[in-house]
Structure 1
Amino acid sequence: MSTPFLERGVLLLARGDELLVDRVVGAADETSGRPCTPATRFQIASISKQMAAVAVLLLAERGALRLTDPVTRWLPGTPPPEWSGITLHHLLTHTSGLGHWEEYPAVDLHGPAEPDELLGRFAALPPLFPPGTGWHYSSPGYVLLARTVERASGRPYAGFLAEEVFAPLGMTGSFAGAGDDRPDVAVGHEDGRPVPSWDLATVSMGAGDVWCTAADLLTWLDVPRRGRLLTPASVTALTTPHAPTGRPGEAYGYGFFVGPLAGRRAVHHSGDNGGYKAFAAWLPDSDERLVLLANQAEVNPAAVTSVLDAV
């Protein structure tokens, strides 16, 4: 089938366990001419928040932390008093009052940054509202969750994901952090030209730091779809509409948007890092899973939903 909105990347659509669309196009690296293949790993950008949410839920299941814990319990030093009422639940649902990247102009997304210095830049500005009283999408909030996972588990965040999340699911093409010296990684492009990556080791840790193949991301959707990896209660928590986003019929769960997609009930998320776009959705009524991974900035993730009506 034709996908005119996609020049570089992979598009998958499955219904049940049948793969209906499997399209791989364009160059993984325009400079070398290396093509995209099914083995190519792409930055999934903000879809990475789902992995952070699952890591937190795994630790909650083990009693290592509680979702009602104040985040200040898990951060080094002396966090600002304005953060004292912010719980892990608030961070997971974007109801903490913390801002998104545009609210923190002192943060360089290309980094690098020392972890505690990064926290200091977040703490330098007061929250936008008291925790639990509003909704504002916040990647910095998920950076704090990744730091919490490190402190509660006593392990580096990328290592925790590798051993406790990706390996049990068989996601052998996935990893978190910098893509330097890794094979089969796509280079991000804007206007047809390669662009440098954002810093994924620290600045976007937990918020946009994961690389996946399209097949791995399709497997990932089996966490809500088939209840893999987590207890039934934790799976329910992922996709419960905890916090209205202000868009009609839509709310945020833990790392998932919950609401209509192309007029149908769905859990989904998009991702947008410099030079990369990503989209993943599960539509439970039709049991369809849709994955788009692109190493071009010009893709409109909303356009991918047209594929649902074409098969």
Structure 2
Amino acid sequence: MKRICVSAVLIALLLIVSAASAQVNSVLDPAALEAFFDGVFSVQLAQNKVPGAEVLVVADGEIVFSKGYGFSNLEEKTPMVPGVTLHRPGSVSKILTWLAVMQLVEQGKLDLYTDVNNYLDFSIPARTADNRDVPPITLHHILTHTAGFEEEASGVIVSSPDLVKPLDQYVKEHVPARVFTPGSVLAYSNYGTCLAAYIVERVSGMPFTAYVQENILTPLGMDSTTFEQPLPSELAPRLSRGYRYSQGRYIAGEFEYVQGYPAGGLTTSSHDQARLMLALMNLGVLPSDEEEPVRLLEESTAQTMERQQFAAHPELPGMTYGLLEWRLNGRRIIGHLGDTYLFSTGLYFLPDENVGIYVVYNTTAGSQLRGMLIQAFMDRYFPSEQVQPTPRPLTPGTEANYRGVYHSSRSNFTGVESVLRLVQSLTVDVDSEGYLVLKTGGGAMRFGEIAPGLFQELYGNTRIAFAFQDGRAVRMMFPGPAAYLRTAWYQTPRFVIGVVAGTALLMLVTLIGWIKALFKTRSRQRLPLVAKALAVAFMLLFFTALVLGGEVLTTVDPAYNVPVAALEPSATLSVLLVLTKILMGLGTAMLVTAIYLLAARKGSLWQRLHYVLLTLSVLGANFVLWQLNLW
């Protein structure tokens, strides 16, 4: 259903763009902008069950268009009103953290290339999780999302304000493992943003929220923006509700409490975001008629912040200091995206054209729709003037170098969340015509080669690149802070699921056979009681663990559509982890027992072989638990 809706939106947008092609393409014409966005949002809201959205366009130092669509509160039929309605912008919040860092760099209080441990009252480990000695992490790495931290998804948003820890406590108790050499791999990190905010606290001598309020929000006149959780009484009534559409109805969510609030805990209005965007576009100065306009950064500092600082490949957009890059229709765009469980936002601006656009949806369906919106906007007002290279099939004989399963660099590698890599993997294949096919989440994209290791989407604008080792692709790179790493065969979903399913089937057959044997005449040769006792104990606990694991994954919050265990401590998950530790011990005991049975020739030959096979399957299951850190 989702793919059908997306296809319908794409077709509708193409029709809109075609119909408008004869008009004067000026972003300074509010009437034309309104006609354009009215057409886009009439389709997006209807086709994708979006309750409400807002969009605004800034150009030449001012807001030239803003409008709300749909409702901020479906139950009360409250409309979305730009500048009045508030929303949660998610990771767009990070821009304030990066601005605070750059202000302190400008003042000489921070250095972008100094070990961050010099600014902390605790230590970031010097070695990686696999015990490699790597260079220290710097603010340059943190601001470009190349620090090399693993990601932690659970607890980013929590179910109640009582679970929100102070910033200093959070960054000290949740230090993620270092998994990549700093400066080598783009791996988006919420923790890195929180660490930067804590450094701002320590160096400035002010709480992070107070620093941002005094040095960014108040100077810019962003009076409807705050990091406070819950919201102050004067702002709370203006907050839009967030919704999820499921089974024919809208499910409203409550206020989201963001643990790492410098990375995504802001509440704001679209007009406040316009003021922020205008200051960025104007190289640190908010455009104003006053003699002394508000300046956040010196021009040279702003230029440094907005200049590309890292790219995974020369032909791909990368990262500035904190801002994402895109290249659409041959033009450079920078900005940021934001998602919570209930809202999706996009802040985009074209530095060379002095034009920006901000959009918010009060549902996560917007995470796909905003990309379509900005592409339609660019096609309408900044059509491509370049001839795109023609993607071509792979060179025959090289297909095996690309085929395989890949997982995101933004993953957990040392904790229980490693299991998420099984459901977030991406498969690369080659079709009969020789084009790459990327498959994930039920969707597929086709790519053709336009240069060695560089690929262009067929009938699209996305480019990807590959890094190779010994002639084989080991990393796939996307625009912005995104990379996928080749997954080892023993960590692929097919292997893991196959081992678990095969072990479960063998155990089930074994249990049935042993139960039947209780009602038959005992043979003269039989296995020692302890051998069977260990096996039965393992099997019962194994099936119990499967049930508990299923309960953890399927007990979801109705509005957020994520496991409750990701929002608050889970007693079920704690019990599961105790059981898996017992299973590891029982597996070791079964291995010792199997060796003894073979050496002492206890039981019949068939009984010994069966027990060895059962033990091998148990060890396979324990290997999976070890690989996924479920012990």
TM (normalized to structure 1)?
0.88
Amino acid at match of 2:323: F
Distance in 1, matches of 2:380 and 2:303, equals 31
Amino acid at match of 2:184: T
Deviation at residue 132 of structure 1 after TM alignment: 1.6
Partner of 1:194: 252
Q: Please show how residues 19-98 of structure 1 align to structure 2 within 5 Å.
A: 19-38=63-82, 39-82=84-127, 85-98=136-149
Q: 1:113 aligns with which of 143, 160, 165?
A: 165
Deviates more, 1:236-245 or 1:63-72: 63-72
Secondary structure in structure 2 of the residue aligned to 1:260 = strand
Alpha-carbon displacement from aligned partner over 1:110-130 (angstroms, at most 9, x marks no partner):
24235455334532x421212
Amino acid at match of 2:165: A
Report sequence identity in percent: 23
Partner of 2:378: 308
Secondary structure in structure 1 of the residue aligned to 2:222 = coil
Alpha-carbon contact 1:240-1:258 (below 8 Å) kept: no
Alpha-carbon contact 2:67-2:81 (below 8 Å) kept: no
Alpha-carbon displacement from aligned partner over 1:158-215 (angstroms, at most 9, x marks no partner):
1111110011112222222324333312222221322234323xx2222112222111
Distance in 2, matches of 1:87 and 1:131, equals 8
Deviates more, 1:139-148 or 1:1-10: 1-10
Is 1:174 the counterpart of 2:225? The answer is yes
Secondary structure in structure 2 of the residue aligned to 1:82 = coil
Aligned length: 305
Deviation at residue 27 of structure 1 after TM alignment: 2.2
Amino acid at match of 1:224: L
Distance in 2, matches of 1:215 and 1:249, equals 31
Partner of 1:5: 44
Q: Please show how residues 148-297 of structure 1 align to structure 2 within 5 Å.
A: 148-180=199-231, 181=233, 182-183=235-236, 184-191=238-245, 192-200=250-258, 203-227=259-283, 228=285, 229-245=296-312, 248-297=315-364
Deviates more, 1:87-96 or 1:188-197: 188-197
Which structure carries more helix by proportion? Answer: 2
Partner of 1:133: 184
Distance in 1, matches of 2:314 and 2:239, equals 35
Secondary structure in structure 2 of the residue aligned to 1:243 = coil
TM (normalized to structure 2)?
0.45
Structure 1 residues 142 and 154: CA distance shift in structure 2, 3 A: same
Alpha-carbon displacement from aligned partner over 1:199-232 (angstroms, at most 9, x marks no partner):
23xx222211222211111121123321221012
Amino acid at match of 1:173: S
Structure 1 residues 17 and 77: CA distance shift in structure 2, 3 A: closer
Alpha-carbon contact 1:279-1:291 (below 8 Å) kept: yes
In structure 2, the gaps of 5 or more residues are 1-37, 129-134, 286-295, 382-631
Alpha-carbon contact 1:50-1:254 (below 8 Å) kept: no
Structure 1 residues 108 and 14: CA distance shift in structure 2, 3 A: closer
- Aligned Cα root-mean-square deviation (Å): 2.4
Deviation at residue 31 of structure 1 after TM alignment: 4.0
Distance in 1, matches of 2:207 and 2:76, equals 33
Greater than 6 Å deviation, 4+ residue runs: none
Amino acid at match of 1:34: T
